[in-house]
């Protein structure tokens, strides 16, 4: 990771809502150039909605109602749609969780990626085709020249995912948002794609927001972590700090739920009791209090602020000091 701490991407108190119901609530984090920040949490916590808000690609009826998004100091929330179209794919790109749905079924996959290069960088078709061919090879697409002539329905889900990754990387964006980028891929290709993302960070100083539920991927790939629960960020810090000294009960329980290869005894896999609450019925106070083993009356009543507890380590928990002392 680069030593430059100036944020390339900044989410500043970002709030996303539909019909007055918040789905993402006051989210804030920074991503520096050359840094991979993992956004983790259970399904339904708001990770993908945060990603769509950063790209300004929210579904109909869902909108940013507060906060801002800055890309290299430029406020994306104030741009017109035409201005955002010039930014998407060129300066900031996204690998979507549902690649088949994201691809145009009426165009060959090669033409779709070529179109992005032509629109953003003005390359002639022949030159663009060569760039796409190289990128298809880079992301592990076998027989890339033949694949470029095929339509999405002719490809497997994993192959469509690789096409989406190629499309997101082809223009060399300064920020990449990767929403579960390797879900449909086998472990060998998964390792190749994650290696490619890490190399891109190092070589091009790209900033990456990596959305994943896989704690192993986080440990091996990310520089920093933001833990999300029920639409809010509850803990952020370096990978080392979060894994070595988690200070929020939710983070602690997430880490405990991961099976360990070094366990000498066979133990039942730890689970977090309960489910993520529905956005229409967010609890008062700390939204994790109904599932938290350390809950108090203050937790039920008051929302804990996201406070700095150590250098580059922030936690939203009324009992974080007690948890730190307890180890």
Residue 207 sits in a domain whose CATH number is 3.40.50.300
At 1, the pLDDT band (50, 70, 90 cuts) reads very low
CA distance 189 to 157: 13
Helices 125-138 and 157-169 pack at an angle, to 10 degrees, of 120
**Predicted pLDDT of residue 260:** 63
Looking at the 3D structure of the chain, how many domains does it have?
2
Same domain, 144 and 210: no
Q: What are phi and psi of 178, to 5 degrees?
A: -115, 105
Measured CA to CA in angstroms, residue 1 lies from 11, 81, 113, 146 at distances of 20, 33, 29, 37
Residues linked to residue 208 through DSSP beta bridges, in sequence order: 36, 176
Q: Is the dihedral of CA 196, 116, 30, 255 positive or negative?
A: negative
- The residue from 129, 157, 172 where one domain ends is 172
Same domain, 155 and 180: no
Same domain, 45 and 184: yes
**Predicted pLDDT of residue 204:** 86
Same domain, 52 and 181: yes
CA distance 186 to 162: 11
Range of the domain at 159: 98-172
281, part of any domain: yes
Closest CA to 14 of 60, 59, 61, 63: 63
Residues, the chain, total? 327
- The residue from 149, 172, 195 where one domain ends is 172
Whether 205 contacts 2, CB under 8 Å: yes
223, part of any domain: yes
124, part of any domain: yes
Same domain, 309 and 220: yes
Same domain, 86 and 185: yes
Same domain, 49 and 147: no
Tokens of 199: 């190399």
Residue 258 in this model has a pLDDT that exceeds 80: no
DSSP 149: T
Same domain, 178 and 224: yes
Mean pLDDT (the chain) is 90
**Predicted pLDDT of residue 189:** 78
Measured CA to CA in angstroms, residue 296 lies from 96, 218, 277, 284 at distances of 39, 31, 18, 13
CB atoms within 10 A of CB 294: 17
Whether 312 contacts 245, CB under 8 Å: no
Same domain, 211 and 290: yes
How do strand 232-238 and strand 224-229 relate by DSSP bridges? Answer: antiparallel
Q: pLDDT over 90 for what percent of the chain? A: 64
Residue 144 in this model has a pLDDT that exceeds 90: yes
CA distance 73 to 167: 25
Closest CA to 13 of 27, 29, 33, 34: 27
Whether 189 contacts 157, CB under 8 Å: no
**Predicted pLDDT of residue 65:** 96
63, part of any domain: yes
280, part of any domain: yes
**Predicted pLDDT of residue 151:** 95
Same domain, 251 and 295: yes
Residue 186, Cβ density class (10 Å: 0-12 exposed, 13-18 middle, ≥19 buried): exposed
- The residue from 172, 198, 213 where one domain ends is 172
pLDDT digits (tens, 9 = 90+) for 79-107: 999 999 999 988 999 998 877 788 999 99
Same domain, 57 and 114: no
1, part of any domain: no
245, part of any domain: yes
Same domain, 160 and 187: no
Long-range contact pairs involving 253-258 (C-beta distance under 8 Å, separation at least 24): 254/40, 254/41, 254/215, 254/227, 255/215, 258/215, 258/216
The owner of tokens 């008051």 is 302
């Amino acid at each position: 990771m680069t030593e430059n701490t100036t944020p390339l991407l900044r989410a500043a108190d970002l709030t996303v809502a539909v019909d007055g119901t918040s789905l993402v609530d006051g989210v804030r984090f920074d991503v520096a150039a050359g840094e991979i920040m993992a956004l983790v949490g259970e399904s339904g916590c708001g990770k993908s909605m945060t990603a769509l808000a950063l790209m300004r690609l929210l579904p109909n009826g869902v909108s940013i109602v507060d906060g801002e998004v800055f890309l290299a100091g430029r406020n994306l929330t104030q741009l017109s749609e035409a201005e955002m179209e010039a930014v998407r794919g060129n300066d900031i790109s996204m690998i979507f969780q549902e690649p088949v749905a994201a691809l145009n079924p009426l165009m060959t996959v090669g033409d779709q990626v070529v179109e992005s290069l032509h629109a953003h960088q003005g390359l002639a078709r022949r030159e663009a085709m060569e760039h796409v061919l190289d990128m298809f090879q880079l992301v592990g697409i076998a027989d890339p020249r033949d694949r470029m002539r095929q339509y999405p329905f002719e490809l497997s889900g994993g192959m469509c995912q690789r096409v989406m990754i190629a499309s997101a990387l082809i223009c060399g964006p300064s920020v990449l948002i990767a929403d579960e980028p390797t879900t449909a891929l086998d472990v060998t290709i998964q390792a190749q794609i994650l290696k490619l993302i890490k190399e891109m960070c190092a070589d091009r100083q790209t900033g990456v927001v990596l959305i994943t539920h896989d704690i192993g991927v986080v440990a091996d790939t990310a520089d920093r972590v933001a833990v999300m629960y029920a639409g809010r960020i509850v803990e952020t810090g370096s990978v080392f700090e979060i894994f070595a000294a988690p200070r929020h009960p939710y983070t602690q329980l997430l880490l405990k739920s991961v099976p360990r290869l070094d366990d000498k005894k066979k133990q039942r896999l730890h689970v977090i009791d309960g489910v993520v609450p529905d956005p229409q019925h967010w609890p008062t106070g700390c939204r994790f209090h109904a599932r938290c083993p350390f809950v108090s009356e203050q937790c039920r009543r008051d929302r804990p602020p996201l406070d700095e507890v150590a250098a580059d380590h922030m936690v939203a928990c009324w009992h974080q000091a007690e948890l730190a002392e307890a180890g």
